[in-house]
Structure 1
Amino acid sequence: MLSTFTQKVAGAIAFTCYLLNTIFWLIPIVVLSLLKSVTPFKITQKTLNHLLDGCASNWISVNGITQRLIGNPNIQIDGLAGLSLNKWYMVISNHQSWVDILVLQRVLNGQIPFLKFFLKKELIWVPFLGLAWWALDFPFMKRYSKKFLQKNPHMRGKDIETTKKACAKFQHKPVSVMNFVEGTRFTQDKHSQQASTFKHLLKPKAGGIAFALDAMGGQLDTLVNVTIHYPQGIPTFWQFISGQVDQIQVQITTQDIHPSYIGDYANDKAFQANFQQWINALWVNKDAEIEQLKQASLND
């Protein structure tokens, strides 16, 4: 373990590297985004899409180099075999820290298509980042609240219809859609407030993943189920970049997504119950998996 002073120096250097790397790749992404927004030719847009995804993947790769040079945690990975850049994936994971995103990007970069998140449509107006997310084909979704639909029943179903149109581009372009099923980071306070029946997880929120699967119209046919465990305890972003994390365990399993798990979650109660049962079973297994990893770490 590094000394406190060394940790501060390492963290400052790492943060600077992350910042410079982000700025370096954001510039060509924004430029290519602007070109993509004005070109009417599909072949040109396809080329720009490959360049944009390449920029994003290189951004992750350079971040990985920074991690290896500063701190270099031992990431034990099980389950990468069989993944492909040419398939369509729904990726789910437990969520404990912002570090999870860095770990997922590093572990899955080059193994599956670039990870994309479903974003609220309003986020497209975020300066620079909104343009970059649009150019990188992050799916923007329009969700209507139950209160809004009660007042405007003619809009029922329009949200999924709009999102499906936004996802049409993925029919011929492999994609990985990321979803943190718990909806927020795990903390003991949140766990207690929920009265979660799981030992190491918050209650899963099935609506988001159901919406994404339905919006993609069955295009996402494989589930990549990732479990992340930190033997030393859940780290903060600062602890990770300053070399205070020695070991990370990542276990990956895949399974086909059965057509019965694609449907109208909001309005079909039978489908909703069946889908919730599926997600809950996944969470029961994940909770047991984390317990096994924890016990194995304690015995080492």
Structure 2
Amino acid sequence: MLNFLPSVVLLILASSLLAIGTILCFIPLLFFVVLRLILPFTVLRKFFATIFMAIAEAWITLNKGWMKLTQKTRWDVQGDEGLDKEGWYLVTSNHQSWVDIFVLQSIFNRKIPFLKFFIKQELIKVPVMGVCWWALDFPFMKRHSKAYLKKHPEMRGKDLEATKKACERFKLTPTSIMNFLEGTRFTQEKHDRQGSPFAHLLKPKSGGIAFAIQSLGEQLNRLLNVTIVYPDGIPSFSDFLGGKVKRIIVRIEQVRIPERFFVSDYANDQVFRAEFNQWVYERWREKDLLIGKLLADSNKA
């Protein structure tokens, strides 16, 4: 354990190890990406998916290695019992920092299928990682502003249709679909601007997971409703790399998805849409209360 070193040294060391691990995994992944482009046969799709997943899980294992080497974080994780590596999961979480992604990957690696995040379409241009996300079949979302939709009403609903098509590809192999329902990282400024009714959360957006549920149907084992709390304050990614995150609390609620959600039409059935939004709202209300309790309890410890 090297967490006794100065923060700036840990930052440089962790960043270097992260970069090295990423490059080491990217090289074989790029080879199979090229091979997949040369051999675009449907029969080989599952084979390539298995290879890509194995490389991604190896990358997370390498990350857990440098995290253990450079950090002295006290983890408090509850609710991850009885998960199935061969199952299909829908995963949601509150979103506060880029650190959330490493937290989720770390606690779920090899316990459930590799997490596939809903990400913005523009991120496919990110060097190295854009290729990785494409190879791993991450669902790319192209969100349009209200002003754009006003000028181009024909584009309304296209982003959700793209989500549905992406999710349909996941029927072939066990998959975990991850969606931050808030759509962006929490800040007090964003919270105040949107007039959120919650103390610790932004308003949730339900459309993405509604389409995922309808696309995969009863294949989905359950919803994993994750709550992440940083008792000592929300960290930046550089804080995380520098070993400054002392405590991380994670609570996982395994929720059975009501069967009627598998066959209802979120896009066209206004009654169902209101019911589904209310179901998500209740999950979010309970999460908000849980965050407040965990913060209060941690301050007493």
**TM-score for both structures, normalised by structure 2:** 0.88
Does structure 1 residue 193 correspond to structure 2 residue 193? yes
Does structure 1 residue 272 correspond to structure 2 residue 300? no
1:39-84 CA distance string (max 9 Å, x none): 1444543222211111100101100110000013111110111111
Q: Which position in structure 2 is the counterpart of 1:169?
A: 169
Counterpart-to-counterpart distance in 2, 1:141 and 1:237: 24
The code of the aligned residue for 1:139 comes to P
Distance 1:149 1:28, change over 3 A: farther
1:189-214 CA distance string (max 9 Å, x none): 22222222211111112222223333
Q: Which position in structure 2 is the counterpart of 1:33?
A: 33
Unmatched 5+ residue regions in structure 2?
none
CA RMSD of aligned residues (A): 2.6
Instruction: Tell me if structure 2 keeps the 8 A contact 1:161–1:215.
Output: no
Instruction: State which drifts further: 243-252 or 204-213.
Output: 204-213
Unmatched 5+ residue regions in structure 1?
none
Deviation of residue 100 (structure 1)? Answer: 0.5
Q: Which position in structure 1 is the counterpart of 2:248?
A: 248
Counterpart-to-counterpart distance in 2, 1:195 and 1:157: 25
Deviation of residue 122 (structure 1)? Answer: 5.8
Q: Which position in structure 2 is the counterpart of 1:12?
A: 12
The code of the aligned residue for 1:223 comes to L
Q: Which position in structure 2 is the counterpart of 1:298?
A: 299
> SS at the partner of 1:216?
helix
> SS at the partner of 1:271?
helix
Distance 1:126 1:242, change over 3 A: closer
1:272-298 CA distance string (max 9 Å, x none): 110110011001111111111111111
Distance 1:145 1:244, change over 3 A: closer
**TM-score for both structures, normalised by structure 1:** 0.88
> SS at the partner of 2:265?
coil
Counterpart-to-counterpart distance in 2, 1:218 and 1:187: 36
Distance 1:122 1:37, change over 3 A: farther
Q: Which position in structure 1 is the counterpart of 2:283?
A: 282
Instruction: Tell me if structure 2 keeps the 8 A contact 1:201–1:287.
Output: yes
Instruction: Tell me if structure 2 keeps the 8 A contact 1:36–1:135.
Output: no
Instruction: State which drifts further: 243-252 or 31-40.
Output: 31-40
> SS at the partner of 1:61?
helix
Q: Which position in structure 2 is the counterpart of 1:75?
A: 75
Q: Which position in structure 2 is the counterpart of 1:222?
A: 222
Counterpart-to-counterpart distance in 2, 1:42 and 1:194: 45
Instruction: Tell me if structure 2 keeps the 8 A contact 1:30–1:128.
Output: no
> Any residues of structure 2 matched to 1:126-145 within 5 Å, and which?
128-140=128-140
Q: Which position in structure 1 is the counterpart of 2:233?
A: 233
Q: Which position in structure 1 is the counterpart of 2:85?
A: 85
> SS at the partner of 2:6?
helix
- How many residue pairs match? The answer is 297
Instruction: Tell me if structure 2 keeps the 8 A contact 1:116–1:178.
Output: yes
Counterpart-to-counterpart distance in 2, 1:48 and 1:280: 38
Deviation of residue 89 (structure 1)? Answer: 0.6
